[in-house]
Every structure is written in C-alpha cells, then in structure tokens.
Amino acid sequence: MLKLSAHPSGRHFLQIPGPTNVPDRVLRAMDYPTIDHRGPEFGELGRSVLAGMKKIFKTDSHVVIYPASGTGAWEAALVNTLSGNDLVLMAETGHFATLWKKMAESLGLRVEFMPGDWRRAADPEAVEARLRKDAGHEIKAVCIVHNETATGVTSDIRAVREAIDRAGHPALLLVDTISSLGSIDYRHDEWGVDVTVSGSQKGLMLPPGLSFNAVSAKALAASEKSTLRCSYWDWHAMIASNATGYFPYTPATNLLYGLHEAITMLLDEGLETVFARHDRHAEATRRAVRAWGLEILCADPARYSSSLTAVLMPEGHGADAFRKVVLDRFNMSLGQGLTKVKDKVFRIGHLGDINDLTLCGTLSGVEMGLGLAGVPHNAGGVAAAMAYLAENSAVRSR
C-alpha cells in the first residue's frame, strides 16, 4: 500500500473560498521591517491605502480600515448607524447572513429575517413589498450579503437599492462584500449603498486581519444619532486620524504593506479585467460540474457566484469524506458545507490569485477525488473546463 509522505511535495492547493492564496508579491511586501506608525513614512502609506481602497470600493466616500476580521466590520456597520431596539430587515441567503443576524440580535437590535432556501439570492420585490407596508418607517436598515460564501449565490445589490427607492423608504442599505470585493463587480456609490463591509482574506489576496467599512454621507449622518455603544469601532475617531494617514490606535502595519501591494496588483490588472477573469473561471468550473453530472447548489443561473461554486453531493454520499480523500491524496483543501448544508456540499473557491493552470489543477484534483471516493459521476469535467478556457482565451494583464 502506498504510504503518503508527511511532507507532500509541491504546493498545497488552497481552494476554499477564503482565506485565499497570498501572492508572492504580497508576501514579499509584508516581509519588511515594521516602521513607526506615528512617523512620516507611515502617514504616506496610510494615505495611499485609504485612497486605493476607495478605488476598489468605487466610492468617493470615506473608507475605514480596522485591524480585525470581517466579523469586526459587520459589528462596526451596525453599531455606528443604529440604536438599541431598532428594527433591521435581513435576507436569509445562507450561513453568513444568519451569523450577521445573530450578531445584530446580540447587540440589542430586532431583526426581521426574510426566509430563504439557501439556493437563491435576496428577493428585491419582497424587500420592496415589506418596506411599502412599513408606513411608519420602523425599519431602520436593510442588510444584504452580496455574495453568500456558504452557498455560491450572489444577490443583485443594484436591484435591492432600486426596490428601496421605489418604496420611498429611508432605510439604510448595509451590504457584506467579504467574498466579493475584488472578485465580482461592486459599486458602492453608483448602487447607493450606505455601508459596505469587507475583509482582507479573499479577493484582496491578503491574510486575514484587516476589515473595511465604506461609508456614505447618509450613514455618517446616522452615526451622529446612533446610541449603540462603540469605542474601538467608532468611525469618527478613525476618520479624524485618517485625514493625515494615521489611525487612532496601533494599526496592522505589515498587513497594510501587503494591502498596498494588493491594491497595486488589482489596479494594474484593471478591475474590469479582474472581474472578467473571475467570471471566466467560474463558468469553466460550472461546466466541469455539469459534465460530472453533479448539481450546483445555486438554483438560479442569473445569480451564480464568480468567487466560488458550491456543489451538491449525490444522495448517500458525504461531502466531508470526499473532501478528506482530496486532502489526503492531492494536498488540496476544498470548502466544507456549513450548518444547513453541512456534509451535503463541497465548495470550490476560484477567487483571488488564480489562473487557468491553477484552476485546471484544482478541477483535476476534484475529478480524481470523486473516483477515489466512489462518488457517482461522469468523466470529462476537466476536459469540458479546458475546452471552455481554450475557446475563451484570457485577456492578459499588463
């Protein structure tokens, strides 16, 4: 029997939907002596990354950077804009929407959770209908996860904004882009978003540890009246210090070096080219899944994610046992199913620093793993993906 090495050769394929692979350029940028976060060199770095993140969010408004995970940015969005017992409308699109709901409730907010089946996006028409019934404007915010990392479903934020406007409702629009920013087209200003939440470890190609709020003027005005307590998350202290490139407390200096490099890489490639690359790799992955005869969790093709694809396992076969085979035999990590879809799906991450050969290697590992795990499937998924990639050549970045 073949004995597997404790130290397998070659690179590990990290194909979960985040944290994603960190490019060598970003790693090298972080491998630099820490500087005085009150000195002039740091001020230049701070101003540069803050300006760069405005381009990534496509906003002229304030962007706040926290030394925290995306969960911290969730909390910052809520505590800066809302008051105790405020009513918030949220859409049940998956595991992470559910976690944001639980956080809101723990902060003393009331949450109306619009039910979903975890296979479809937030419904703009349902949002509009509910807001029209709220004649007294009791609902203070609508919270939507743009790209649900647990399910591979992307909601239409522009359509949600239009629904709020058609209802003539003053509710704030808060959006989670943790697994979409830098991977899927997103426009904070154009789509009328009031607070956009994001994190460093996915499309931004960094390790975990930085999180972000992009803040509209309307949201900043709401923060003047908010009574939820905050200190660490306070926008006003951040924005005041950020004016000169500094922070009110010790920032994650070396992660900011990496962020500077990641922004440079994204803007050099061009955001539209970045989005097209993700779209292309997502479609190639879906073609492989269909060729295998497996089912994509997202039930609406118009709302397929370009960051990841969640794949349903055939009846009687567990996703976790399959994932273990792939990890043990090919040194590749695939995303697990979470809560409601635990052991029912596996997730293929195709976001961040990825190219055609990385994707083909990933899909090869999946196809070989399906066979070794005894999962019923058809051959030819990798071939279908390769044919699509060859027919739709990538646009080379500068």
Q: How many CA atoms lie within 13 A of 65 on its CB side?
A: 29
The whole-number pLDDT of residue 398 equals: 40
pLDDT for the residue 395: 56
- 360: domain CATH number is 3.90.1150.10
Confidence (pLDDT) at 30: 98
Listed residues 267, 286, 308: the one ending a domain: 267
Say which residue the tokens 């803050």 belong to. 50
Residue 208: φ, ψ to 5°: -60, 155
Shared domain check, 239 and 277? no
Assess whether 240 and 301 both reside in one domain. no
Give the per-residue pLDDT at 8. Answer: 79
pLDDT score recorded for residue 397 = 44
d(CA 127, CA 335): 30
Domain of 140, CATH number, reads: 3.40.640.10
- Listed residue (213, 270, 249, 232) closest to 398, CA to CA: 270
Cβ–Cβ contacts within 10 Å for residue 9, how many? 6
**Residue at a domain's end among 229, 248, 267:** 267
* Mean pLDDT, each 10-residue run in order, the chain (398 residues): 64 96 98 96 98 98 97 98 98 98 98 98 98 98 98 98 98 98 98 98 98 98 96 98 97 98 98 98 98 98 98 98 98 98 98 97 98 98 98 66
Q: Mapping DSSP to helix (H, G, I), strand (E, B) and coil, where does residue 113 land?
A: strand
Give the integer Cα–Cα distance in Å for 332 and 256: 29
Q: Are residues 252 and 360 in the same domain?
A: no
Q: Are strands 139-145 and 172-176 parallel, antiparallel or unpaired?
A: parallel
Q: CA dist 183 to 154, 161, 202, 264, 394, Å?
A: 12, 21, 8, 15, 15
Same domain? 297 vs 220: no
Question: Same structural domain for residues 54 and 134?
Answer: yes
The answer to whether residues 60 and 268 touch, using CB atoms and an 8 Å cutoff, is no
Q: How does DSSP assign 273-333, residue by residue?
A: HHHHHHHHHHHHHHHHHHHHT-EES---GGGB-SSEEEEEPPTT--HHHHHHHHHHHH-EE
Of 250, 267, 284, the residue that ends a domain is 267
**Claim to verify: residue 318 and residue 205 sit in the same structural domain:** no
| Same-domain pairing of 253 and 293 | no
